[in-house]
Amino acid sequence: MSHEASVTEPPRGARLKLSTPAAGLVLSVVAACGFSTHGPSTDSGGDGAPTVLSTTPSNDATGVALDGSLTAIFSEAMDPATLTETSFTLTSGSGVTVPGVVTYDNSMVVFRPSVDLASDGRFTATITTEARSASGVALATEHAWSFVGDTAAAGPPPVHLGTAGNYVILAKAAITGTGATIKGNLGISPGDASSITGLMLLMDATGVYWTSAQVTGRVYAHDNAPPTPTELAKALDDMNSAVADAHDRVADVTEVTDEIGGMTLTPAVYHWNSGVKISTNVTLAGGPKDVWLFQIDQGLGMTAGMKIILSGGAQAKNVFWHVSGPVTLGATAQFQGIVLAGAAVTSGMNTMITGRLLAQTAVTVTNSQIVEPL
C-alpha cells in the first residue's frame, strides 16, 4: 500500500471543458521503464542528493491519454511525508493548479488528477526540492516537465474511481474466490480477513497484507496492520463517491429495452429504471478512448456463455456499469467493464471478467478468472 495525500476536489458532475483541467490522468516518474526524460530543469545529483531518473509521459510528449498514467521512480528511497500536493504539482498552460492525489510506494511517486484534464491542453508537472530522501536529503534540483493532452473521447468523461481503482475486487461484507484466478489487488472493509473465503490466504511478514497462490497481487483486509485500515477506508469513500458520480450523470439515452443482447451500443450514458438482461452477445463499438456508462436502477443479469464484445479498439477500463441491484454473470460468460454495484456480485463457473468488481456488499467469483483492465 502507499502513502497518500488528498487534495480538495471540485463539485461532482462538472463536465469536460477545453479550458478546464481534465480526466483520470496519473502522473508518475518511473525508473525502469526505459522512458528517459529531461524537463525544463536538470537534476545534477550532487552530494548524494536524490534525483528523478525518468518520467512518463516524457517532456514535450503530445497526445497523452487523458485516462492514462503519469508514473515515476527516484534514484533512491524517499520520505513519503515529503511527497504531497505541495511538493508534486500539476498546472495547466494558463497557470491553474490541477487538484489531485499524490501517492508514493517503492521509490515511485504518482499524481492522480481528481478532475478532468482539458483535451489538447498543455500541462506542466513539477516536483520541488521539498521532496526529500529517506535520510532527509533534499532533491538535487526542482524537476519539471510538460506534455499535451490527447483529443477528447466520445461519450462521457470516465467515472473517477480514486483509490478504489487500486483494486480489482473491493467489497464491504465478503469475498468468495474458491477456485478463482485473480490478477490485481483485493480489498475488504469493514469485513475482516475471515470474511474472505476460498483463497487460502498467507499473511505477509509485515502484517499489512495477505497473499494467495490464486492472486497475482495483494489481499487487504480491515484487520491488517496499519496503514491498511486507513487506506481501505479511503478506498471505500472513493468507491462511494464514484457511485454518486455515476448516478448523477445526465443520460444521453433513456429507457432502452431491458434486453440489450444482440445490440451494438456506441459511447454514451444509458439509463434504465428497470433491470437489464444480456441474453445474447452485445457489442460496444468505439475507439480506445471512448467511454460508456450504464445506469441500471435494478439488477443486471448475463446469460451463461454470452459475451460483451468490444470492437473498434474499445477498452474495458472505459466501460462503467452502475447497477443499483445485484449483478449475476452466468457460467462461461465473458464480461467487460467496471462494476459499481449496490448489491452483491456473483459469477458462475469459468466466467471470464476483464474489469473491476466494486460492491457495496459481497463478491463471489467461484472458479472464475478476473483480470484487471490495463
260 occurs within a structural domain: yes
274 occurs within a structural domain: yes
Contact between 123 and 66 (Cβ < 8 Å): no
Confidence tier at 368 by pLDDT (50, 70, 90): very high
Confidence tier at 42 by pLDDT (50, 70, 90): very low
Q: Which of 94-103, 125-134, 146-155, 237-246 has the lowest mean pLDDT?
A: 146-155
**Above 90 in pLDDT, residue 25?**
no
Confidence tier at 64 by pLDDT (50, 70, 90): confident
Confidence tier at 46 by pLDDT (50, 70, 90): very low
What is the residue-averaged pLDDT of the chain?
Answer: 87
Could you tell me if 136 and 223 lie in one domain? no
pLDDT in tens, 181-200: 999 999 999 999 999 999 99
Contact between 329 and 313 (Cβ < 8 Å): no
Confidence tier at 68 by pLDDT (50, 70, 90): low
108 occurs within a structural domain: yes
Per the structure, the complete domain to which residue 79 belongs is given by: 1-152
Could you tell me if 123 and 4 lie in one domain? yes
**Above 60 in pLDDT, residue 37?**
no
pLDDT in tens, 280-308: 999 999 998 899 999 999 999 999 999 99
Which of 94-108, 139-153, 220-234: highest mean pLDDT? 220-234
Structure-model confidence comparison of residues 255 and 11, the more confident one: 255
SS (H, E, C) the chain: CCEEECCCCCCCCCCCCCCCCECCCEEEECCCCCCCCCCCCCCCCHHHCCCECCCECCCCEEEECCCCEEEEEECCCECHHHCCCCCEEEEECCCCECCEEEEEECCEEEEEECCCECCCCEEEEEECCCCEECCCCECCCCEEEEEEECCCCCCCCCCCCHHHHHCCEEECCEEECCCCEEECCEEECCCCHHHEECCCCEECCCCCCEECCCEECCEEECCCCCCHHHHHHHHHHHHHHHHHHHHHCCCCEECCCCECCCCEECCCEEEECCCEEECCCEEEECCCCCCEEEEECCCEEECCCCEEEEECCCCHHHEEEEECCCEEECCCCEEEEEEEECCCEEECCCCEEEEEEEECCEEECCCCEEECCC
**Above 80 in pLDDT, residue 246?**
yes
Could you tell me if 89 and 194 lie in one domain? no
157 occurs within a structural domain: no
236 occurs within a structural domain: yes
Could you tell me if 135 and 199 lie in one domain? no
| pLDDT at res. 151 | 72
29 occurs within a structural domain: yes
Confidence tier at 11 by pLDDT (50, 70, 90): very low
Mean pLDDT, residues 25-35: 37
15 occurs within a structural domain: yes
Could you tell me if 273 and 336 lie in one domain? yes
Could you tell me if 204 and 64 lie in one domain? no
**Above 80 in pLDDT, residue 65?**
no
| Total tally of structural domains belonging to the chain | 2
Could you tell me if 229 and 288 lie in one domain? yes
Domain end among 110, 131, 152: 152
| pLDDT at res. 341 | 98
Confidence tier at 47 by pLDDT (50, 70, 90): low
- What global pTM score does this model have? 0.66
| pLDDT at res. 7 | 39
Domain end among 123, 152, 181: 152
What is the CATH number for 133? Answer: 2.60.40.3710
Confidence tier at 70 by pLDDT (50, 70, 90): confident
| pLDDT at res. 256 | 78
Could you tell me if 118 and 248 lie in one domain? no
Could you tell me if 125 and 188 lie in one domain? no
**Above 80 in pLDDT, residue 228?**
yes
Could you tell me if 126 and 214 lie in one domain? no
Contact between 329 and 365 (Cβ < 8 Å): no
**Above 90 in pLDDT, residue 102?**
no
Could you tell me if 166 and 145 lie in one domain? no
Q: Which of 51-65, 110-124, 157-171 has the lowest mean pLDDT?
A: 110-124
What is the rounded CA–CA span in Å between residue 356 and residue 353?
8
Contact between 296 and 325 (Cβ < 8 Å): yes
Could you tell me if 142 and 67 lie in one domain? yes
Confidence tier at 67 by pLDDT (50, 70, 90): low
235 occurs within a structural domain: yes
Confidence tier at 30 by pLDDT (50, 70, 90): very low
pLDDT in tens, 196-220: 999 999 999 999 999 999 999 999 9
